Amino acid sequence: MKTFLEEVNERIGGVPIQRCYHCRKCTAGCPLAFAMEYNPNRVIKMIQMGMKDEVLNSSTIWLCASCETCITRCPNEVDIARMMDVLREMAIREGRTVKEKNILAFHQAFLNSIRSRGRINEPFMMVDYKLKSGDLFSDMGLGINMFMKGKLALISPKTRDLGAVKTIFEKTRNL
């Protein structure tokens, strides 16, 4: 059976994360580190130590905003941003309890909009998100303001060949 480290490295498909020598450049440059449970370089160490539950159940993997500052500055080219994607993907596949539920709810609402229309329709996506997250009332004023300015179009053109988009979702579901 593969170790957690081997599994993560295989999915990243790049530089093995154990090349990290903890210079902490990633953490120093990370704009979200202040809000994270574990700093990015600490996550690498935890993966090496086999702390799968702690990592996959953490808020850290969801709070990463994919700004890619870490990989840009890493002297050893450890792709931490891609590592965070891999960890999120693993957490979803394993049906883990997601600590930042609303962040995942947003991603799901976003992808639902693509699946059903080929493109994002912002008002419909937001309604879907609100139903998923239960966060019904935030941004109401802003939304109404944008609607009044004509920035939220209830009717927006869809991709004509919706079948092609749906096929992409079907074929990548279990890859």
Partner 1 sequence: MKVSYYPGCSLHGTAKEYDQSVKAVSKALGIELSEVEDWSCCGATSAHSTNFKLSVALPARNLAAVEAGPQKEVMVPCAACFNRFKSTQYYLGHNEALKREIEGVIGRPYRGDAEVLHPLGIFHDRVGLEGLASRVVKKLTGLKPVSYYGCLLLRPPEACRFEDYENPYMLDGILTALGAEVKMWSYKTDCCGGSLTISRTDIVGRLVDKLMTMAREAGANCVVTACPVCMANLDTRAGENVRLPVFYFTELMALAFGLAGPADWFKLHNTDPTPLMGGLGLV
Q: Which of 32, 46, 51, 127 binds partner 1 (CB under 8 A)?
A: 32
Residue 58 dihedral angles phi and psi, to the nearest 5°: -85, 160
20: left (phi over 0), alpha (psi -120 to 50) or beta: beta
CA distances from 43 to 53, 129, 171 (A): 12, 29, 31
Residue 122 as a binder of partner 1 (CB under 8 A): the answer is yes
Contacts of partner 1 in 57-96 (CB under 8 A): 63, 65-69, 71-72, 79, 81, 85-86, 88-89, 92
DSSP, residue by residue, 39-75: -HHHHHHHHHTT-HHHHHTSSHHHH-----HHHHH-T
Which one-letter DSSP state was computed for residue 133? H
Q: Which is nearer to partner 1, 6 or 49 (CB)?
A: 6
CB closer to partner 1 out of 16 and 110: 110
Question: Look-up: residue for tokens 């979702």?
Answer: 169
Contact range with partner 1 by CB under 8 A, out of 1-9, 19-27, 42-50, 118-126: 118-126
Interface residues with partner 1 (CB under 8 A) are 11, 13, 31-32, 35, 63, 65-69, 71-72, 79, 81, 85-86, 88-89, 92, 100, 102-108, 110-111, 113-114, 118-122, 126, 129, 133, 138-139, 142, 145-146, 149-153, 156-157, 159-161, 164-165, 167-169, 171-172, 175
